[in-house]
Amino acid sequence: MTITPPSIFGTNLVAMATPMHPDGRVDRAGVGSLLDHLLSSGCDGVVVAGTTGEAPTLTSLEIAQLIEQVRGHSDHALRVIAGVGTNDTSKGIDMARSASAAGADALLITAPYYSRPTQAGIAEHIVVIADAGGLPVMLYDVPARTGVAIEASTLVELSRHPLIRAVKDAKGDLYEAMTVMSATDLAYYCGIDELALPYLACGATGLVSVTGNVVADRYAELIAAVRSGDLDRANAVQRALLPLTDAVMRTTQGAIMAKAALARIGVISDATVRRPLLESSAADLSRLGDALSATGIDQESRSVQVPVRLA
């Protein structure tokens, strides 16, 4: 059993957190430290200014500066996918052009949130933003956040556009994902950390993970195991990740817990998030610490201390 070969977006992508100082300013040194961590752990692409990056509270200038820093720091070792999700089509056009000018390799476009447009409205919103940016596009189908799904028929329609090349699927409907994959040449990426293995086993190209901020190396191992057809190994890796996945994705909110985990292992100096998000409580941090230990992460040296073993 194999998964789809790597696409222009990479395979082991991370929805990158945006490190911040205690006063809320973007921590540029922390961004560099996080990038070094990701580069050393098998990550080959990052989503900048996505939900995990707290895009709704970043200014246009901060987003452009983040893209420029990631592009320069990684020296093209990482694909840089810029989040340009918005419910204002005109703003989305401006965001796409700005991301292109700042050096992004691709764009991540969501359905317009809150407004709940028709499928025709969703398609037009996406197409005009894609055309404005002039870069390859990964669609982000996340109805839990946008309030409306990109339906399968719309995905098939959009796949005919020359710039629309991939889907980050956070819908969780594996049958629909397989159906769209069979009907199009879209590269599919799992956008639900808890379902990484099922998506890969169904033919997804790769992952866009939140927990990957901490353990991208484990996800690289998972992808490699599925690609080689070693599902026993893949199951072992996925099961070993369950405590951390649960702590990051099912405690409060992914951006909050990803930053808390990165601070606990010393990658960034502070776990500050911008309001309306709130930092982790003592109870949440205790749960996170237990999960890091159970996953085999040494909180002092950032190293994996406990290898994944087959049951």
What gap in Å lies between CA 277 and CA 299, rounded to an integer?
A: 24
Set 91, 113, 114, 168: catalytic member: 168
140 is catalytic: yes
Output the CA–CA distances (angstroms, integers) from residue 269 to 72, 234, 265, 266, 297, in the order listed: 22, 33, 9, 7, 17
Kindly state the DSSP code that residue 105 receives in the 8-state scheme: S
Check if the beta carbon of residue 61 is closer than 8 Å to that of residue 93.
no
Candidates 54, 72, 141, 62; CA nearest to 95 is 62
Cα-trace Rg, the chain: 18
Q: Is 134 helix (H, G, I), strand (E, B) or coil?
A: coil
What gap in Å lies between CA 246 and CA 225, rounded to an integer?
A: 22
168 is catalytic: yes
What gap in Å lies between CA 233 and CA 226, rounded to an integer?
A: 8
Check if the beta carbon of residue 165 is closer than 8 Å to that of residue 138.
yes
Set 113, 114, 140, 189: catalytic member: 140
What gap in Å lies between CA 187 and CA 138, rounded to an integer?
A: 9
Catalytic residues: 140, 168
